[in-house]
Amino acid sequence: MIVKRAFDIVFALVALVLLAPLLLVFALTVAFTSPGGAFFRQVRVGRDGREFRLLKFRSMRPGSEARGQLTIGGSDPRVTPVGRVLRKTKLDELPQLWNVLVGDMSVVGPRPEVPRYVALYSPEQRQVLRVRPGITGMASLDYVDENELLARSADPERTYVEEVMPAKLALDLRYVRERSMALDLRIIAATLRLIFRD
């Protein structure tokens, strides 16, 4: 959709310009409060199965990914104190505005998954790869407390693969079928309400 891509470019560009001072403060805070730099880059799977590097403010200690790709609750010892705040408010996702600007992502769409889990998708579930992944989406809103849900599980990996991931993909497939600019605007509005709910 040409209109959607134009919206993404304008939204990301304006947001990056307006939020530049805040992004700088977050980057410096992350960099100076724990070793490892300000940003975290991770390979994710985008539209048509193309891999790209997703950008986030780093919220975990260096080497944490080697101990598992799922974050388990707010007490996960790998998460830094600053990272815990960024994760809770979802502000760690703001650098993905750059991913939107360069065309890897959209503002709204299915959240991009790591290759390891995409390999488990059924042919039907792979239909979510027909569109650009998003910073926020229907599944992101419904599973905003996903980490806490996994923290209550005796086997978080199994719970994610067998319960959470299929449920999120069902919502993502619904988005792919029903997507429109009107729906995107409703999702953005709901996301902003969620961020400022506290």
- pLDDT tens figures, 61-105: 876 665 555 656 556 778 888 888 888 888 899 999 999 999 999
In this prediction, residue 173 carries a pLDDT of: 98
In this prediction, residue 180 carries a pLDDT of: 95
In this prediction, residue 65 carries a pLDDT of: 61
pLDDT of 49 > 60? The answer is yes
List pLDDT tens digits, range 15-42: 999 999 999 999 999 999 988 889 999 9
133: Cβ contacts below 8 Å, ≥ 6 apart: 44, 45, 46, 47, 104, 105, 106, 109, 110, 111, 112
- Count of beta carbons in the 10 Å neighbourhood of residue 122: 9
In this prediction, residue 67 carries a pLDDT of: 58
For residues 74 and 90, give the distance between their C-alpha atoms in angstroms, rounded to a whole number. 13
Q: How many domains does the structure of the chain reveal?
A: 1
| Domain range enclosing 121 | 2-195
pLDDT of 198 > 60? The answer is no
pLDDT of 183 > 60? The answer is yes
In this prediction, residue 159 carries a pLDDT of: 92
List pLDDT tens digits, range 131-148: 999 999 999 999 988 888
Please report which confidence band the pLDDT of residue 168 belongs to, taking 50, 70 and 90 as the band edges. very high
Q: What is the DSSP letter of 155?
A: S
57: Cβ contacts below 8 Å, ≥ 6 apart: 26, 27, 30, 38, 39, 40, 83, 86, 91, 92, 94, 95
